[in-house]
Every structure is written in structure tokens, then in C-alpha cells.
């Protein structure tokens, strides 16, 4: 039903014609009685020029051109407007007014102009107009003080971008949106520039392509506008970011920007807090001032706000976990769509009013023009899609539905739209699948896939491949099933290689992991060892060495900005700390995007058992673990001449409970090197006889076949996966003792680390020592004193001085952020062979794991600070609580499918360290001192892994019985990167 327009609203809409334009028209009418009064005419003309909102609108009234110009100045002003509006056809000289009206219609971009096909070649028409406006700006830009030419040029470029978007030519649509950004910035139109940046980013996000480029367009703008007053433009920007992050799978960022949308809309009075949509809409209309000369602008704001509410509800429907919440957001979206339709009807009426006023005709009553609705054809197609899906859900496999699907291919709405045609072929493929007609389904889905590829729609390509996999059931089709999965993996990895920001790259495969799991399963069944190894590498940590600028003016600026945010962090109360933390993250991401470089996908097909064994020395072995789906795990043991592989099923609750038995039951008086707030969660992990759970876990992770194959091995490298990163394998019960008593144990993020040259315990190079016993308060907490930490670094300094190794000493009072990160100190730090920190640490934060901090005497350094360094250290020792832990639940996920590495491990590897010795849980102060001093003593002449083994054995031999439990020494482990 059409919206009935209240008389007061109709009057408000007409009030726009009592504004500047109406006054200008009256002045022209007045001038018609003063033709001979040359002294009055120029003054009236200039007054009209100054007061008119759209100066060229005067010519649409068809009067000014009838009057002879009074002088040369006036002639030039008139020719200025005619120069850029004359058409390149026979009508241009005969009817310049029609020409001007035509061009003004295009330049203002009424979308139905293109949809209705009023011009045979919109691209040529708009391109010609753009050229003419460019020339007019060159010739008359100094006269056009109000910038109407600039406005017309931007309108025209945006028209072309929209035109290309409608025809699914995304490359051209993006190119013209970017052109509009450049022109708007040249003209000083910040609002238009931001609008077109958002538009370009939205186009780039389509199909989950070009995520980096899209974020690089809009994330720096958010960095600037986040402190500005709320506005509709900022809400649109927030939606663009929310939508983009949703397509990468990062629900943390998605929900953050969704909340920003609502907050801004509420702040500017365009919120949607009422259940009654009509009441909300009427309240919006009541805010329209009667004096508003451009009511259409206000309605456009309502339209944009209503659209944002609908988009917000759609994204919420995707991201909320509970079905009942999803239903709520579905209903809210429907109410928003109803509001958008009413806004469109009002806008259509305003356009009708414009045309009648221009033509001098009576203003018609308000009606809904269904035949001219901008989305009429699209709505019909969407309604058809909904009806088809409803019939699918009802199990309809009739010949009638078969005919309806194939007939739709001849519809103009489908033939003229690549994406619509793809959707129809996809439905046809699903229909044949339901009827068991595999061959017909395969043909239809292949056609849909080709169309999705042409349209550059990654998500649609993957969805169609998923449907294809469902066709290939049974042993006869296992090869086709594997090939289809590998095709999907190739697409995913190519897109993932183009994503620079680490959280988004991790999240990208969360909902796509089934392709990897199924491929691994098939390769295992096919006994294809090389393919299995390559696929396992794809789901292991790979992206911790980012191309962040570490030198030059920009790097120094970044360091200063991070330093300023550090000072804010130290002064912030608990409520504002999260905001400052987010600023550090956005700052880091924007600089990372700016410095991004092209990466090639990992060639998993080139992986081989031979290449893995090449990286193993004599007496070395690798334990490689990989989780599939639903508690199914692959275990591999690789030695120099053989590979053992087993598949195991485990109850996930059982596994989590057994892992949690480590690091728990911290005894009273346990002085941990962590902020006090983090210790209790480990102290509360209490289990009856935890050593029994340790033994059961060891029996599962190290089956008898593996134990027999390890006889004679001296160095065991372990490559965990998912929750196994929290397992201290070295502290597992083994042959009547602990695993570390039999082997030097180190850990790998992935098997690609193996070809690195093994460390021989080189004794050359300097050592950097950083440690203190006193700390500044942080986040409303006082950090406990650590006398053992200061004693540890002082004893190490004395030891290295005695053996003649140069020491870079930042102990006690010198353990300050500004001192350690000063230019001179950093240059020395970057040359050290060993870097050792004995300080307070903290458990990595799930929402921002790169913010894992190491606390100093006056503040902290975190993962962002460390990533800016360029280290050459053989080993970085983090004698601090949690300083080696990798967060398991990250960015809204219980675990990362991609297994990516975050926290301080990631940061130090990114900075260039060869290995990192860290801690999984709170480090007891005295134990930390004893173990770490012994480690450094054994490091002279031994590899870091062997040095840690010897230090642990020495500790177990010398420590008092009450401090020999795994909770004291088992936290320390070595990762080779």
C-alpha cells in the first residue's frame, strides 16, 4: 500500500521551493520587466547567482537564455554554463535548454535514468559529459566560486561507478569510485571523498577479494574520525568496516563496528529503539524543519539511516550465536526494509514534484510509482529466489519446478545480470542433486562456477564447490572429491596470501576449514604422504613475519605514536584502557597495510617427506600433530628414514580436562612473575592426582609404536596444533621420568622451520639483560616485587663479565621503556646474540593477543613494540609469566583453524629471533632464577634446546623436594622459528 502523505509533510516538501532557488526564479521574472534597464540587470543577475542553491537550475526554467546579455562579463558567465552542457548531436544548437536539462538529470544521478534505458549508451554519454566538465573547470574554474562544476563532475563519475556496479563490472566500478576519491580530495570535499572511499571499499569487499586494499582505503579514515562528533557519514564508514571484517571472518572487529553504528545513529537522533517502525518513521519526519530549503537532503539522511539499520540487523543475524537472537534480528531487518520502502516512495514523489515545477505544471497528489521503483526488477527476482528456496525446503522435486528453473534463464532480469544467471544455474544444480541426477547437477554447477569466476565472486565460487563436493559420494568419486577440495583450497590460499593484517588472515579460513579437513582425510586414506604433509603445513602457523617498516621517517613516527599511546595506557583507568589498546591495534594495522608487500601462497604441493627429513640431523625426530574436525587427530613421527602416521579419535572434553591439569594447583606462597590478577585462574585449577592425568595424556600423545621408534633419538622437535600448544610435552611422564630427561625438546610452529641451520651453541656475540624487582602500577593494580628477577640478571651479568662476553645491561633502574627503546640502545640490542628479560608478564588477551605485555620499572613493552625491532638473536629468553603462551581462544573463536601464532612468540620471531624461550604459566620467582642462570651457563657450547634440557636436569637434581613438581619447572619451553 502506498504511504499516505500527511498535509503538513507535503507542505514541508513544497517549502523547499520557497528557498534560494525560488527567490532566484522570482528575480529572473522581475528582470523580464527590466530588459531595457541595463544598469539593473547585471546586479540582479549577480544577486541571483549568489543566492541560488544550484545556479544552472535557473536555465531549466527557460527564461534567462531569452534575455540579451547586458555586457561582456555577463556574456562570459552565460557561455561558461553552455560550454559544458551542449550535447554532441543535432539537437544541441536547436534546443540548448533540453540539452541542459538532460545533462543535469544525469549529473544528479537519478538511478532510474540508467535503469529505464533513456540513453542508448550511458557510458559514452557520461564520459563525454565528464570531458566537457573537465574542460569547463579548466576554462571557468576561477569564476565558479561555489564549486558547482566540481559537484557536477563528482556526480558524473559516481554515476559511472554505479552503472558499472549494476552490470557486475567491479573493476571499472572500483576504478571510477577511486577516481571520485581523488577528485573530491583535489576539490577539498572531505565528505565526498570519505563517501567514495566507503563505496570503493564496499566494492572491493564483494566476494571477499582485495581485502587489503579495501581496509587500506577506509581504516586510516577511521583512525582520524574516531574522535570526531557522531555523524551519519561516520556510521556509514563503521558499517563499511563491519561488513568487511565480517567477510574476513573476524567477528570481534565486526561487532565492535556494529556497536559504533548504533551509537552514532542514536547520538544524531536517527536511532531505532522503538518496536513500532511506523512510530519511529513518523518521529523522524517530525524532525524535518519547515524552513529546510532542501527537504530531499533530509529524506536522503532518513533513507541512509534506515538502510544502515537494515544492514546492521542483517550482520547481527549472521554474527549472533543463538537462534532466538537470529530470529529477533530477522524481524528487525524486515521492519527496516519497510521503512526504506517508505523513504523511497517519498523520494520518488519529490522527484515528480521537481519535474512538474520545472515544467510549470500543477503539482500532483502523492502516489507510489511502483513501475518506477528503483529496485522493482531486483525485488521481483529476489521474491522469485525466496519462493524457489521455500519449495526446496518443502522437498519439491517436481517437473513443474524443473520447468520453472530453466524458464527463468530466459528472463531479461537473468540474462542481463551475470550474478543472477549464476544463482539460477546454482539452483538448477541443487535441484538435480536432490533428484539424484548427478551428471545434470555437475553440468549446472560447473556453469554456475564459471559465471562466479567471471564475476570474481570468491564466496560464491567456494559455495558452489561445496555443493559439488556433496555430489561426489562413495568410493568411485573420491578422486573428484579431492580435486574439488583442492580447487577450493587454491582459491582460499590465494586470497589469504593477499591479506596483510594478521587477525583477519587467521579468521579467513574459519568457515572454510572443512575443505582442508576433508582433503587431509582423503590423502591419509590414499596413503599420499607428501600431499598430507603439505596440507598440514597450510593449517599451521605461517604468518608471523610481517613486512612492517622498521627504518625511516615513517617507522620513527610509528614509534612515537606507540609511545604516546603507552603513556595513555599507564595513566588510563580500567574503563578506558580497552579504548587505548584498540587504538594501538588500529595504528599497527594501518601501518602494516601501508607497508604491505606481495606474498605468494605456500606451495603445499611441493612439500615432501624427503624435504622434511633433509632438515633433520642425526639423532633428531619430529612429532607432528594435526586436528581435523570433531576430535579426529592425525599423529606423525618423522625420523631420518621413516614416517609413522596414525589417526586417533578423542573426546574433546577429556582432552581439555587433561590439558588443564598442567599449571594448576599453584601452592601457597608461589610468587609469580605476573600481574596478580592472572595467577588465581591457574591456582584454581585443582585436580585430584593431576599426575594421573599427565600420564593418561602422555599415553595418548606418545603411543607405543612411536616410543619404540624414538629409541636412540637425542633431540625431539614437536609441532603441536590447536589446543596442544598448551601442553608441556617436555614435562610429560616418560619411561619412569619425564620426556626432557630422555631428549632435548624444542617446539616448531610448522615443519618449514626445519631447514634452518642448527645452532651449535656459538659463544661469540654480546648479551642483553633486562630485569628489575620494582614496577609501576598498571590498570589499577600494583605489581608485586620480584627480588629473584633482579638477582637473576645481576648474577648473569657477573657470569658473562667473568667469561669475557660483552653485556648490554638494563638492570634495576635502567629497566625503563624510554631507555630500552632509545635509538642508541636499540642499535646495540639488535646486534646481541642473546636477549634475556626477567620481568612481570601477563596472559595474552583473547581480543588483542599482540598486546601481551612485559612490564618494566616505568611501564611496559608489548608485541607491537617488539615487532618494530630488527633482532639477530640466536635466542630470546622471556623469564616472565605466560611469556611464551599462545592464546587459544582468539578474536571470538574457541580456537583458530589456521593455528596462527600471536603474542610475544610471534612478535620476537617477527623481529628476527631464531628461537624464543618462554613460559606457559606463572613462573615462580626463585625457580625462574635458578633455571635461567643454569640455562645460560649450559648455553656456552650447547644448542638452546640442549642447554634447557641440562638446566632442567640440574634443577631437578638440586632443588628441594617441595619445588620439584612440574608446576615449578615445566612452564619453560623453547620454540624454534
Could you tell me if residue 689 is inside a domain? Answer: yes
At residue 558, the pLDDT reads 84
Q: Note the pLDDT tens digit of each residue in 153-163.
A: 887 788 788 87
Give yes or no: residues 838 and 853 share one domain.
yes
* Count of the separate structural domains present in the chain: 5
**Residue 148: predicted pLDDT:** 64
Provide the pLDDT for residue 440. Answer: 94
- Decide if 670 contacts 922 (C-beta within 8 A): yes
Query: Which of 744, 770, 803 represents a domain boundary (last residue)?
Result: 744
Phi, psi of 647 (to 5 degrees): -110, 135
In a domain, 895, yes or no: yes
Q: What confidence score (pLDDT) does residue 574 get? A: 79
pLDDT of residue 849: 76
What 3-state DSSP class applies to 589?
Answer: helix
Q: What confidence category does residue 813 fall into, taking pLDDT thresholds of 50, 70 and 90? A: very high
pTM: 0.81
Same-domain pairing of 835 and 934: yes
Q: What pLDDT is attached to residue 214?
A: 87
Tell me how far apart the alpha carbons of residues 947 and 547 are, in angstroms, rounded to a whole number.
32
Least trusted range by pLDDT, from 18-32, 438-452, 737-751, 842-856 = 18-32
Longest alpha-carbon distance in the chain: 116
Give the percent of the chain with pLDDT over 70: 75
Among 594-603, 674-683, 853-862, 878-887, which is the least confidently predicted range?
674-683
* For the chain, percent of residues with pLDDT exceeding 90: 34
Q: Is residue 287 part of a domain?
A: yes
The single residue listed with the C-alpha cell 611422564 is 733
Average pLDDT rounded to a whole number, residues 478-502: 92
- Give yes or no: residues 932 and 804 share one domain: yes
| pLDDT value of position 83 | 44
Q: Do residues 696 and 650 both lie within one domain?
A: yes
pLDDT grade for 933, boundaries at 50, 70 and 90: very high
Task: Name beta bridge partners: 768.
Answer: 808, 835
What's 774's domain CATH number?
A: 3.40.50.1460
Verify that 629 and 712 share a domain, yes or no. Answer: yes
Q: Give the Cα separation of 458 and 204 in Å (integer).
A: 12
- As given in the structure block, the three cell numbers for residue 918 are 618462554
Mean residue pLDDT of the chain comes to 79
Q: Which of 49-63, 293-307, 805-819 has the highest mean pLDDT?
A: 805-819
Instruction: Give the best-scoring range by mean pLDDT among 536-545, 546-555, 618-627, 845-854.
Output: 618-627
In terms of domains, do 335 and 421 share one? no
Residue 685 lies in a domain: yes
Among candidate residues 649, 647, 643, 624, the one with its CA nearest the CA of residue 529: 643
Residue 686's pLDDT is what? 62
- Does residue 293 register a pLDDT over 50? no
Q: Is residue 955 part of a domain?
A: yes
pLDDT at 18 over 60: no
Highest-pLDDT range among 16-30, 241-255, 335-349, 709-723: 709-723
The verdict on 581 and 658 lying in the same domain is no
Residues 768 and 895 in one domain: yes
Q: Tell me: pLDDT of 715 over 80.
A: yes
What pLDDT digit, counting tens, does each position of 432-466 carry? Answer: 999 989 899 999 999 999 999 988 889 899 999 99
Phi, psi (5° rounding) for residue 862?
-130, -170
- Asked if the model's pLDDT at residue 70 lies above 90, the reply is no
Q: Specify whether 397 is located in the same domain as 352.
A: no
**Do residues 330 and 472 both lie within one domain?**
no
CATH assignment of the domain containing 508? 1.25.40.10
Is the distance from CB of 26 to CB of 32 less than 8 angstroms? no
How many CA atoms, within 13 angstroms, populate the side-chain half-sphere of residue 839?
Answer: 32
How many degrees, rounded to 5, is the angle at CA 298 between CA 294 and CA 303?
Answer: 135
Q: Which of 538, 565, 586 finishes a domain?
A: 538
Coil, helix or strand at residue 771: strand
Residues 382 and 366 in one domain: no
Is pLDDT at 254 greater than 80 in this prediction? Answer: yes
Give the tens place of pLDDT for each residue, 673-706: 655 444 444 545 666 678 899 999 999 999 999 9
Locus of grid cell 518506477: 372
Q: Is residue 677 part of a domain?
A: yes
Torsion sign over Cα 772, 774, 778, 783:
positive
Q: H or E element: which one contains 834?
A: strand 834-838
Instruction: For cell 565528464, name the residue.
Output: 130
Residue 556 placed within a domain: yes
CA nearest to 103, candidates 76, 127, 85: 85
pLDDT, tens digit (0-9, with 9 covering 90-100), for 91-133: 334 443 344 444 443 344 333 334 434 445 667 767 777 787 7
204 domain-assigned: no
Q: Average pLDDT for residues 413-420, to the nearest whole number? A: 84
- Please say which residue of 374, 397, 422 terminates a domain: 374
Determine the average pLDDT of the residues in 455-483: 90
pLDDT at 210: 79
Same domain, 659 and 791: no
Residue predicted with more confidence, 962 or 844: 962
Domain that holds residue 370: 269-374
pLDDT for residue 277: 61
Give dist(CA 478, CA 473) in Å, integer. Answer: 7
* CA distances, 533 to each of 543, 569, 617, 723, 943 (Å): 18, 44, 19, 20, 27
Amino acid at each position: 500500500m502506498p504511504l499516505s502523505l500527511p498535509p503538513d509533510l507535503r507542505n514541508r516538501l513544497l517549502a523547499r521551493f520557497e528557498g534560494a532557488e525560488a527567490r532566484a526564479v522570482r528575480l529572473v521574472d522581475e528582470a523580464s520587466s527590466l530588459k531595457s534597464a541595463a544598469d539593473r540587470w547585471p546586479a540582479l543577475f549577480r544577486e541571483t547567482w549568489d543566492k541560488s542553491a544550484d545556479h544552472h537550475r535557473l536555465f531549466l526554467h527557460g527564461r534567462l537564455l531569452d534575455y540579451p546579455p547586458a555586457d561582456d562579463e555577463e556574456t562570459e558567465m552565460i557561455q561558461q554554463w553552455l560550454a559544458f552542457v551542449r550535447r554532441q548531436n543535432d539537437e544541441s544548437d536547436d534546443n540548448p535548454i533540453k540539452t541542459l536539462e538532460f545533462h543535469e538529470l544525469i549529473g544528479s544521478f537519478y538511478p532510474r535514468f540508467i535503469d529505464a534505458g533513456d540513453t542508448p549508451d550511458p557510458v559514452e554519454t557520461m564520459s563525454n559529459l565528464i570531458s566537457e566538465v573537465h574542460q569547463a573547470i579548466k576554462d571557468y574554474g576561477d569564476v565558479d566560486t561555489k564549486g558547482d562544476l566540481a559537484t557536477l563532475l563528482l556526480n558524473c563519475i559516481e554515476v559511472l561507478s554505479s552503472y558499472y556496479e549494476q552490470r557486475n563490472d567491479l573493476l571499472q566500478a572500483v576504478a571510477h569510485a577511486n577516481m571520485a576519491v581523488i577528485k573530491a580530495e583535489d576539490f577539498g570535499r572531505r565528505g565526498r571523498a570519505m563517501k567514495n572511499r566507503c563505496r570503493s571499499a564496499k566494492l572491493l569487499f564483494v566476494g571477499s577479494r582485495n581485502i587489503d586494499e579495501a581496509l587500506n582505503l577506509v581504516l586510516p579514515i577511521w583512525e582520524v574520525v574516531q574522535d570526531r562528533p557522531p555523524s551519519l557519514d561516520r556510521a556509514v564508514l563503521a558499517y563499511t568496516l563491519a561488513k568487511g571484517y565480517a567477510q574476513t571472518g573476524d567477528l570481534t572487529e565486526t561487532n565492535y563496528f556494529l556497536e559504533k553504528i548504533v551509537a552514532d545513529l542514536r547520538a544524531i537522533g536517527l536511532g531505532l529503539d522503538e518496536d513500532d517502525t511506523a512510530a519511529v518513521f513518523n518521529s523522524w519526519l517530525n524532525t524535518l524543519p519547515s524552513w529546510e530549503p532542501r527537504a530531499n537532503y533530509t529524506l536522503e539522511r532518513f533513507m541512509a539511516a534506515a538502510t544502515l539499520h537494515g544492514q546492521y540487523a542483517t550482520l547481527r543475524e549472521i554474527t549472533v550465536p543463538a537462534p532466538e537472537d537470529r530470529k529477533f534480528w530477522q524481524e528487525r531487518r524486515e521492519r527496516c526494509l519497510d521503512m526504506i520502502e517508505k523513504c523511497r516512495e517519498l523520494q520518488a514523489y519529490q522527484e515528480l514534484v521537481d519535474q512538474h515545477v520545472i515544467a510549470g505544471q500543477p503539482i500532483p497528489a502523492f502516489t507510489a510509482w511502483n513501475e518506477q521503483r528503483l529496485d522493482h526488477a531486483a525485488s521481483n527476482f529476489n521474491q522469485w529466489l525466496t519462493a524457489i528456496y521455500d519449495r526446496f525446503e518443502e522437498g519439491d522435486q517436481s517437473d513443474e519446478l524443473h520447468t520453472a528453473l530453466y524458464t527463468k534463464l530466459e528472463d531479461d532480469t537473468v540474462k542481463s545480470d551475470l550474478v543472477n544467471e549464476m544463482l539460477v544455474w546454482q539452483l538448477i544444480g541443487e535441484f538435480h542433486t536432490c533428484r539424484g541426477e548427478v551428471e545434470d547437477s555437475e553440468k549446472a554447477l560447473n556453469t554456475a562456477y564459471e559465471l562466479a569466476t567471471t564475476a570474481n565472486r570468491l564466496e560464491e565460487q567456494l559455495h558452489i564447490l561445496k555443493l559439488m563436493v556433496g555430489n561426489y559420494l562413495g568410493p568411485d568419486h573420491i578422486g573428484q572429491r579431492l580435486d574439488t577440495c583442492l580447487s577450493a583450497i587454491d582459491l582460499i590460499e590465494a586470497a589469504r596470501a593477499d591479506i596483510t593484517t594478521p587477525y583477519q588472515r587467521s579468521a579467513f579460513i574459519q568457515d572454510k576449514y572443512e575443505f582442508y579437513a576433508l582433503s587431509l582425510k582423503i590423502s591419509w586414506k590414499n596413503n599420499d604422504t607428501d600431499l598430507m604433509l603439505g596440507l598440514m603445513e597450510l593449517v599451521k602457523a605461517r604468518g608471523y613475519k610481517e613486512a612492517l617498516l622498521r627504518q625511516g621517517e615513517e617507522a620513527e613516527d610509528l614509534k612515537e605514536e606507540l609511545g604516546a599511546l603507552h603513556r595513555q595506557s599507564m595513566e588510563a583507568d580500567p574503563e578506558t584502557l580497552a579504548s587505548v589498546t584498540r587504538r594501538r591495534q588500529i595504528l599497527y594495522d594501518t601501518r602494516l597495510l601501508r607497508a604491505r608487500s606481495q606474498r605468494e601462497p605456500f606451495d603445499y604441493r611441493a612439500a615432501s617427506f624427503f624435504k622434511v627429513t633433509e632438515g633433520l640431523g642425526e639423532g633428531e625426530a619430529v612429532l607432528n600433530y594435526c586436528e581435523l574436525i570433531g576430535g579426529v587427530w592425525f599423529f606423525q613421527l618423522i625420523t631420518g628414514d621413516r614416517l609413522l602416521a596414525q589417526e586417533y579419535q578423542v573426546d574433546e572434553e577429556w582432552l581439555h580436562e587433561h590439558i588443564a591439569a598442567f599449571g594448576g594447583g599453584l601452592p601457597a606462597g608461589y610468587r609469580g612473575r605476573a600481574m596478580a590478577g592472572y595467577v588465581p585462574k591457574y591456582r584454581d585449577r585443582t585436580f585430584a592426582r593431576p599426575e594421573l592425568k599427565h600420564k593418561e595424556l602422555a599415553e595418548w600423545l606418545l603411543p607405543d609404536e612411536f616410543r619404540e621408534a624414538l629409541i636412540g633419538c637425542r633431540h625431539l622437535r614437536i609441532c603441536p596444533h590447536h589446543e596442544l600448544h598448551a601442553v608441556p610435552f617436555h614435562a610429560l611422564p616418560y619411561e619412569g621420568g619425564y620426556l626432557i630427561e630422555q631428549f632435548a625438546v624444542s617446539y616448531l610452529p610448522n615443519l618449514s622451520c626445519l631447514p634452518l641451520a642448527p645452532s651449535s651453541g656459538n659463544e661469540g656475540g654480546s648479551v642483553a639483560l633486562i630485569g628489575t624487582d620494582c614496577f609501576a602500577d598498571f590498570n589499577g593494580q600494583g605489581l608485586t616485587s620480584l627480588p629473584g628477577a633482579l638477582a637473576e640478571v645481576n648474577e648473569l651479568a657477573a657470569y658473562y663479565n667473568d667469561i669475557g662476553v660483552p653485556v648490554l645491561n638494563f638492570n634495576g633502574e635502567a629497566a625503563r621503556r624510554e631507555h630500552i627503546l632509545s635509538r642508541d640502545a636499540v642499535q646495540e640490542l639488535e646486534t646481541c646474540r642473546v636477549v634475556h628479560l626477567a620481568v612481570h608478564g601477563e596472559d595474552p588477551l583473547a581480543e588483542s593477543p599482540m598486546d601481551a605485555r612485559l612490564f618494566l620499572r616505568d611501564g611496559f613493552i608489548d608485541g607491537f613494540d617488539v615487532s618494530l625491532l630488527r633482532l639477530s638473536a640466536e635466542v630470546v629468553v622471556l623469564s616472565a609469566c605466560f611469556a611464551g603462551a599462545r592464546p587459544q581462544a582468539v578474536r571470538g573463536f574457541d580456537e583458530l583453524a589456521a593455528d596462527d601464532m600471536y603474542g610475544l612468540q610471534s612478535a620476537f620471531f617477527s623481529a628476527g629471533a631464531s628461537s624464543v624461550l618462554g613460559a606457559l604459566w606463572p613462573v615462580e620467582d626463585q625457580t625462574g632464577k635458578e633455571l635461567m642462570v643454569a640455562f645460560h651457563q649450559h648455553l656456552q657450547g650447547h644448542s638452546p634446546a640442549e642447554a634447557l634440557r641440562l638446566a632442567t636436569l640440574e634443577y631437578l637434581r638440586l632443588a628441594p623436594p617441595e619445588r620439584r613438581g612440574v608446576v615449578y619447572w615445566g612452564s619453560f619451553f623453547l620454540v624454534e622459528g
